[in-house]
Amino acid sequence: MGIIRKQIVQESNNTMASYSTNEFKRGLKVMLDGDPAAIIENEFVKPGKGQAFNRVKLRNLKTGRVIERTFKSGESIEAADVVETEMQYLYNDGEAWHFMDQETFEQVAADEIVVADAKPWLKEQDICTITLWNGAPLSVTPPNHVILKVVETEPGVRGDTATGGNKPATLETGAVVQVPLFVNEGELIKVDTRTGEYVSRVRE
């Protein structure tokens, strides 16, 4: 993983890569107004007689905002040096969250804006997906499922494993999730980070 990423970075640095509208496709990373962006949708628009255009939807990778842009077909746009890589979450020093590439032992620090929505799910030693732009972290995606300890919740209702009913539980990372009534403090639970929902109890 680390080696592949290095090659891509080197290539784009050497050639100042750019993409013509004919190369546009979903997922392509480009520079738009000085920010890295990913193409979400690309539509070829052409009247029988008249100029061809590419109507493109992009996501600004710094702000997450979706932008619509139209390009005269045949135009080019600068490529963004954006790569995704897996890194291990190490620790938070109060200001930054530190991650490490497990093959190269290279470390990066992400600030609060970058960590953003991932913050409540970051547990030390978990493997996260880090999006890097020019080598600096742009966003952090936690694993789809994380196992976290319940540090605070109302006392459990013994035996009540069948009927519904939920209660809030605070987890070791500070995240609050809705859990079934039978879950107790000190127990480990599995949470889906994409929905923020409880999945199951986990035996230690």
Query: Contact positions toward another protein, by CB under 8 A?
Result: 22, 43-53, 55, 68-75, 77
In this complex, which beta carbon is closest to another protein, that of residue 32 or of residue 118?
A: 32
Structural Rg of the chain based on CA atoms: 22
Least CB distance from residue 54 to another protein, whole Å? 9
Q: Shortest gap between Cβ of 33 and another protein (angstroms)?
A: 8
- Give 52 or 116: the residue with its C-beta nearer to another protein: 52
Helix, coil or strand: residue 134: coil
**Least separation in angstroms between CB 75 and another protein:** 4
The distance of closest approach from Cβ of residue 38 to another protein in the complex, given in angstroms and rounded to an integer, is 17
Nearer to another protein among residue 67 and residue 90 (C-beta): 67
Taking the complex as a whole, how short is the minimal distance between the CB of residue 61 and another protein, in angstroms?
19
Which residues have a Cβ under 8 Å from the Cβ of 50 and sit 6 or more positions away?
none
Total residues found in the chain within this entry: 204
- How many Cβ atoms are within 10 Å of 136's Cβ, its own excluded? 12
Nearer Cβ to another protein, position 41 or 154?
A: 41
Distance of alpha carbon 120 from alpha carbon 53, whole angstroms: 43
Q: Which is nearer to another protein, 67 or 199 (CB)?
A: 67
CA–CA dist 104, 10 (Å, integer): 16
SS3 of residue 35 by DSSP: strand
Structure tokens at 91: 């620790």
